[in-house]
Structure 1
Amino acid sequence: MKNKKAKRILIFIFLLMSILFGVFYYIYKEVSGFDSVIYPGVFIEGIDLTAKTKNEAKNIIESKYSKVIVKKNIIISWNDKKYNLSYAKLNPRYNIQETIDNAYGYGKNLSIFSKYKIIKSKSVQNYLLKFSYDKKAMDGFIDSIEKDINKEAENAKINVNNGSISIVQDKKGFKLEKDKLKKILYSKMDGKNLKDINEKAPVKTQEAKIKKKQLEAINSNISSYTTNYGSISSPQRANNIVISTKAINGTLLMPGESFSFNNTVGPRTEKRGYQGAPVIIGNKIESGLGGGICQVSGTLYNAMLKANINATERVRHTFPSTYVPIGMDATIDYGNIDYKFKNTLTYPIYIEGITNGVNVTFNIYSNSSLKNKTYNISSEIYETIPPKEQYIDDASIPLGKTEILQEAHTGYKVKVYKSTVEKDSVVKKELLYTDFYKPVDKIIKRGTKK
């Protein structure tokens, strides 16, 4: 009985071992079949790579991503223009090898039974690719679009040629919203979008500040004033008059805008072409850079008065000028004394400055309706103050010998009027201001040496 029982036990053990061996062998065979390939249920970006070798997996992923994306383009449209950038220029890169290594290695370091469990389970392990590209190339592409699109708005312009007025159309300006475009493109550059990127460039439109319609109101010469410089000027003085007149020519002032002679003409320097010529400094006439341009400011001043635009800043000379009536001059000194006015009309004004070697003229153009009234400027001397003579004794100079240190200039008190003329009749005469040209005494040095 005991032998039979022992025998049965041995048979049972043998059978159990055989079964266990068979099971183990089966598991071994199943697991070893995946030693050099990727386990079931392993995906990259949703692509099933079950039983694929590394090379097979690499070919599959590259054909789906790397080889496809380099053929795609980024296309930015604006108006009738298209800006194209090939993905290939962005050097697009996926971490394909790294991801395949991870996918291949999934479960490989586990026990044989854990490996078998992975193989037979229906669980899914999905790996995602990392994508990168050259952002500098992208930014350079966007910069090139910006350079092509961005344009400043251009104001309408006015041209006057021999009294004929023409208006140049204003132009809109455009500005690429660069940061906005970057944000759009960066968000779509995730490596998953394998189609061409088509986007409209976000562009802001900028309107011109001065429109053609506004300048069309300028249709007539409303004022003009001329002074002669040819008979009183050296070549240097004439040169200064020409340069400063050119600087003012073409000035456009919209209603409410102000004019500064010094800001418009700029510094009077040799570098800018100005030369030395007689200029009033204190009570004397001396040579100075830019001498003569007070005639330009004086001529413009009178043209503006005749256009019914008064000065907001104006200073007379020390003594009267010869090129304009007394009380109607306007001196300037860069950095110290300026001539300024504000366009108080309801229309824009255009200033034309002309020199011809003999005369300097300023023509003021605006709306023809302003010509219903004209303005005459006049002055009258209401008091004359003769200068005195002052003597300075000098013991180093022989008795009876004299030297004039300062020439005399008569003093004047002047009233300046503006007469408003309508239908050939003066309808109003008003006092604009009074000027006082102080007398300048003659100063004589006389010798007392015996």
Structure 2
Amino acid sequence: MRILLLLVFLLSCMASNVFATANVKLDKVEISQYGLYPFQQTPFIDEVKLQALISELEKKVAIEPKNAHWSENNELITEVPGRMLDKEAFQLLFRSAYYEQNMKHITVPTMPVYPKVDQSLLKEIQTKELGSYTTFYKKGNKERADNIALAAAAIDSHVVFPGESFSFNDVVGERTAQRGYKRAPVIVKGELAEDIGGGICQVSSTLFNAVDLKGIQILERYAHSRSVPYVPEGRDATVSWWGPDFVFKNRYNQPLLIRAHANEGRMVVRILSSESVDHFTGESS
């Protein structure tokens, strides 16, 4: 019994140093219900129920970090850290509160989650242009123009780290009316039709021509079933949420920054990196 009390004291002391920011509290009454049935008043905790609680709290306190990015006005927006459940600290707190009668409640502890891309990285990898490509579209076709602008904004400021792959579908996401995409002309089996998100293939095709560089490996690309007017024949990259994707891999030793902008009938993609990107370490294919 003395050993158990000593363990509880040590756990309580360790838990008291935890920095808690989630503002989610568990009262003693709720904590006591996690005893192993039918022995709720014994030193046995139902570990299955505790793990289920941990899973629930992970979702409740989680905040995704936000990467630094460039705004439409070319203003650098700083990164915003997120947070996640500190599972180890929570287990210490929970077990201390379960065994220690004087602990009336606990505050769920969290730990920061830092963004992958911060403003210092963005500043560093915008110094050297590796490639660029421009295509043109009819700005009078508002639905198609809006789709192009939405998809361009989705890939703008995206960073592809060395050895990392870029998937157009993963980055842009599903093209739905709820996300602002509109019905516009698309090519389906060689025939013109209308569908949600029509026009975004011009974005993927412009991106393909911009990243067609020695240090980039094209992993997945499909051509349309008929020629398209915005790129030369054979230089397109069709995409569809339920079908083809455009995927490439960064074979350079430095991160790549994608800058994309669509406005007034011009679709522009630029590929940037740092000055030391000349050291090519990838495969030639």
| 1:99-123 deviation line (CA, Å, top 9, x unaligned) | xxxxxxxxxxxxxxxxxxxxxxxxx
2:143 alignment partner, one of 236, 239, 244: 236
TM-score, normalising length: structure 1: 0.43
Aligned equivalents of 1:161, 1:371: Cα separation in 2: 29
- Give the conservation status (yes or no) of the 8 Å contact 2:62–2:82: no
Deviation sequence 1:26-81 (CA, Å, 0-9, x none): xxxxxxxxxxxxxxxxxxxxxxxxxxxxxxxxxxxxxxxxxxxxxxxxx9454599
Decide whether aligned partners of structure 1 residues 80 and 283 sit closer, same or farther in structure 2, where only a CA change above 3 A counts: closer
Which residue among 256, 279, 288 is the counterpart of 2:163?
256
Q: Name the residue aligned to 1:26.
A: none
Q: In the TM superposition, what are the counterparts of 1:105-116 in structure 2 within 5 Å? A: none
* Number of residue pairs the alignment of both structures matches: 239
Give runs of aligned pairs for residues 285-304 of structure 1, distance below 5 A. Answer: 285-304=192-211
Q: Percent of counterpart pairs with the same letter?
A: 30
For residue 182 of structure 2, the aligned residue among 271, 275, 296 is 275
Alpha-carbon offset, residue 184 of structure 1? 2.3
Q: Which residue of 1 aligns with 2:92?
A: 180
Tell me by how many angstroms 1:175 deviates: 1.6
* Equivalent residues of 1:224, 1:306 under 8 A apart: no
User: 2-side partners of 1:156 and 1:240: how far apart?
Assistant: 23
Tell me which residue corresponds to 2:234: 327
Task: Give the one of 207, 216, 225 matched to 1:318.
Answer: 225
| Distance in 1 between residues matched to 2:204 and 2:158, nearest whole Å | 14
CA spacing shift, 1:181–1:324, aligned 2, 3 Å: same
Q: Which runs of 5+ in 2 are unaligned?
A: 1-14, 30-40, 42-53
Task: Pick closer, same or farther for the CA change 1:169–1:282 going to 2, 3 Å.
Answer: closer
> Is 1:157 equivalent to 2:68 in the alignment?
yes
Q: Distance in 2 between matches of 1:158 and 1:167?
A: 7
* Structure whose CA Rg is larger: 1
Question: CA separation in 2, counterparts of 1:242 and 1:270?
Answer: 15
TM-score normalized by the length of structure 2: 0.64
Q: Which amino acid aligns with 2:222?
A: V
Match of 1:360 among 267, 270, 280: 267
- Report the residue type matching 1:292 in the other structure: G
Q: Is the 8 A contact 2:79 2:117 kept in 1?
A: no
The residue type equivalent to 2:137 in the other structure is: Y
For 2:97 and 2:279, locate their aligned partners in 1 and report how far apart those are by CA, in whole Å: 62
Which residues of structure 1 form unaligned runs of 5+? 1-74, 91-130, 132-142, 190-195, 374-429, 433-450
Structure with greater proportional strand content: 1
What is the CA–CA distance in structure 2 between the aligned matches of 1:313 and 1:237, rounded to whole Å? 25
Cα 1:180–1:302, aligned 2, differ >3 Å: closer, same or farther? same
Q: Which amino acid aligns with 2:132?
A: S
Rate the CA distance shift 1:308–1:321 in 2: closer, same or farther, 3 A.
farther
Q: Do the aligned partners of residues 205 and 293 (structure 1) sit closer, same or farther apart at CA in structure 2, a change above 3 Å counting?
A: closer
Change over 3 Å in CA distance of 1:347–1:77 after alignment to 2: same
Aligned residue identity for 2:138: G
Match of 2:132 among 214, 220, 224: 224
Q: In the alignment, does 2:275 pair up with 1:351?
A: no
Aligned-residue Cα RMSD (Å) equals 4.4
Aligned to 1:210: 116
1:332–1:156: structure 2 CA closer, same or farther, 3 Å change rule? closer
C-alpha displacement of 1:214: 5.9
Residues 150, 181 of structure 2: 8 Å contact kept = yes
- 1:342 aligns to 2:249 (yes or no): yes
Contact 2:254 2:276 in 1 (8 A): no
Shift of the alpha carbon at 1:272?
2.8
